[in-house]
A and B are shown apart, each in its own frame.
Chain A
Amino acid sequence: MIDNAAVLSFAGSVFRTVALALLAVSLLAALPLTATRVARRFFEVVSLAGEDARGAHVRVLGAPEAAALDAIRRAIPAGGDYLLLDGGEEWQGSTYWVRFELAPRRARYVGRLSELAGPARRPWSLPAGPRWVVIAFPHHPAVLLDRDDFLRRMAVSHGPG
């Protein structure tokens, strides 16, 4: 005769043991990844000793990108504004990064460069206001153009508006 209570109790005991064993496995499995991440940060802080905030900024952005942003910052005053064009795709986020680096300068978003170059957007025009146009690229330094210069270049590249 099968004792249901005993069977259930045994099954419950096995279930609880398995749950605890799996928890132990999950802790052990997490150890190498966490250890690697922790060790990497300790190693980095040693290898980057002596680097100042400006150096870290250039290291992360890349020297050409940082130089381009510095040039834009010098051209547009901190309280100024500019028109921002996306030289990549939205999911690449390049306009976000350029906007962040140029803040507190205010940006007016114009659209994607590839869309602006299409026939539907002719004649070439830009929103009124800011004098400067900044084009953000995902893998290249941002470009600063005067709005008239930008319109002229559009006409040269894609035909008259």
Chain B
Amino acid sequence: MVPAEALKGLAGVALFAAPGAGLAELLPAVRELPAARRLAHAWLLGVAWTAGALYALSHWLAVPLRSPAILAVAAAPVLAGAVSWLRRRRPPSVARRKRKRPKRLVEWLALGAGVLVSLALLCDTLSHPLTDWDGRMTWSAQARYVRSEGTVHPAALTQRGWYVSHPWYPLLMPVAQVAVLEATRSDLDHHAFRPLYGAFFPVWLLLIYSGAEVLAGRAAAAWTTLSAALLSFPAFAAAGGAASAYSDLPLACFFGGGLLLLLHSPHARLRPSAGLAAGILLAAAVLTKAEGEILAPVALVLAALYPLVPGRGRERRRRLWRQRWRALALAALPVALALILLLSWRAGIPESFESFEQATSRSLLWPGILTRVPRLARDARAEMVSFLNWGLFWSVAPLVLAAGWRGLRRRPVFPLLLAAGVPLGVGWIYATISLRPDFVVMSTWNRFLLQASVPLLVLFALSLRDLLRRAGWLPRALRA
């Protein structure tokens, strides 16, 4: 690694972090979040805005994906955010400063593990070129075609007959790669875009910590984050982790981040700016991977139905709905725009999902959805108990969830369960209709788990909270 070249990778991260910080400043609901959560959402907003806007500008206005457009798109929220910050700048009040609580042992452990693994990932992404399977087969190959012609309509995609894998896969992450490589004027073979993917790992940890902290408290959130930081698959797996150029971890972050914003409003009413921020993240989910087309609308529906979860009086439900509908409409707007963009872009790509259609048969759905259960369950379990990928986590997590079942009697549990179930359900149906289910489970199940990981781990934290509260024999520093 040459320092000057490593700087390109770091500049690539800054290309999204800076506009993200600007957007976080502009959206009050994000600006007022605790620092960890604000940082995670700022990064996601930055990637969503920069790559999403470039995708739309290239498709609808034929703006070339070159440095001037990339820097202008990134600079706009930076400038707007700076102006907003200067206008409202106040010294932090004494009361606010006092609110900072000292970290406990387990929080230090989680922070230390997260920082060490994230730094290791940064080293990996700065010093090695891309070597994973899907990254080279699909995402980065598409990025090279896009970069070469400066458009999201390269001839390799728009003309029939060229050898391209998954030409209908959305291009948000390839466009993000192009933005990094163009803005840093990197050579074709330079891997300056890899830190962009590596940065999603600490963001994923921050989302899990902050999402869990709101519902389950600091101790359970910290233990859950420590468990997540020590999982090999999300960090180091060459087939979907942050060390790869797969789009599953970004999708998990966009989906999980958007969902948590919609479900975890600290205010009784969902603020319009929270809705808009969630909508931007869910729009990015739509443009990140094909599954996002299902996950983003599901998150919106769950957020809309959340006030209707039993346990509230009819009048209170009505009031909640009245307080939330504007924010939900603002969340739905970017998602609708992203879906329109994706469908409109696909209209110009002739090859569609042909490889997927060749590998599946809808006739297998029934009665396969029942008869294939034992086989798929065995294969999925084999993936989940792989020590190299997940350690013992998936062997222990069901026990924690069962033993801490009282912690799951909270209102957000039902939407979180559904949100976690949808990616897994998509994966299950895909394996069911596949002509080679064992291969599909082997190559995709871990990634569907990753897509579901944010709501799953928040549920884990809720159960853990119950266990910790009842474990009077544990030192207080570890459980409170």
Contacts and interface: CB of A to CB of B under 8 A. Distances in A.
Interface of A: 12-13, 15-20, 22-23, 25-27, 29-31, 33-34, 37-38, 41-42, 44-45, 48-54, 56-57, 60, 78-79, 81, 84, 93, 95-97, 99-100, 103-104, 106-109
B401 to A, nearest CB: 9
A151 to B, nearest CB: 20
B396 A100 contact: no
Interface in B124-142: 124, 126-129, 131, 133, 136-137, 140-141
Given A20-B467, A26-B393, A51 B1 contact: yes
Contact of B141 (A54, A60, A103): A103
Interface in B400-443: 400, 402-404
A18 B101 CA distance: 31
A141 to B, nearest CB: 16
Contacts of B396: 19, 22-23, 25-26
A19 B128 contact: no
Contacts of B232: 30, 33-34, 37
Given A42-B123, A53-B190, A93-B137, 8 more contacts: A22-B399, A23-B396, A29-B391, A56-B191, A57-B129, A103-B156, A104-B145, A109-B163
Most chain-B Cβ atoms within 10 A of its Cβ — which of A23, A48, A81? A23
B471 A20 contact: yes
A50 B5 CA distance: 10
B148 to A, nearest CB: 3
A91 to B, nearest CB: 9
Given A27-B226, A53-B191, A99-B141, A104 B149 contact: yes
Interface stretch (B62-70, B112-120, B249-257, B368-376): B112-120
14 contacts: A17-B473, A19-B403, A22-B400, A26-B227, A26-B392, A37-B235, A41-B124, A49-B1, A51-B1, A53-B191, A60-B131, A97-B136, A104-B149, A104-B156
Given A22-B396, A37-B120, A42-B123, A52 B140 contact: no
A1 B231 CA distance: 48
Contact of A26 (B123, B128, B129, B391): B391
Nearest to B148: A104
Most chain-A Cβ atoms within 10 A of its Cβ — which of B154, B387, B467? B467
Contacts of A57: 129, 189
B154 to A, nearest CB: 7
A15 B398 CA distance: 12
A26 B397 CA distance: 10
Given A17-B471, A31-B230, A53-B129, A23 B400 contact: yes
Interface in B1-35: 1-2, 5
A53 to B, nearest CB: 4
A107 B163 contact: yes
Contact of B163 (A26, A56, A99): A99
Given A26-B227, A56-B128, A108-B163, A37 B236 contact: yes
A107 B2 CA distance: 33
A51 B120 contact: no
A127 to B, nearest CB: 8
B405 to A, nearest CB: 10
Contacts of A13: 470
B324 to A, nearest CB: 36
A30 B387 CA distance: 9
Nearest to A51: B1
Contacts of A81: 162
Contacts of A15: 402-403
B129 A56 contact: yes
A71 to B, nearest CB: 15
Interface of B: 1-2, 5, 113, 116-117, 119-121, 123-124, 126-129, 131, 133, 136-137, 140-141, 144-145, 147-149, 154-156, 161-163, 165, 186-187, 189-192, 223, 226-227, 229-232, 235-236, 387-388, 391-393, 395-396, 399-400, 402-404, 464, 467-468, 470-471, 473-474
B353 to A, nearest CB: 17
B150 to A, nearest CB: 11
Contact of B140 (A44, A60, A100): A100
Nearest to B156: A106
Chain A to chain B: the 4 pairs with minimum beta-carbon distance, closest first: A104-B148, A19-B403, A26-B392, A103-B144
A38 B120 contact: yes
A109 B156 CA distance: 12
B162 A16 contact: no
Given A104-B145, A107-B163, A48 B1 contact: yes
A50 B227 CA distance: 35
A132 to B, nearest CB: 14
A99 B138 CA distance: 10
B122 to A, nearest CB: 9
A100 B177 CA distance: 14
Contacts of A49: 1
Most chain-A Cβ atoms within 10 A of its Cβ — which of B137, B388, B403, B468? B403
Contact of B165 (A38, A41, A54, A96): A96
A77 B2 CA distance: 29
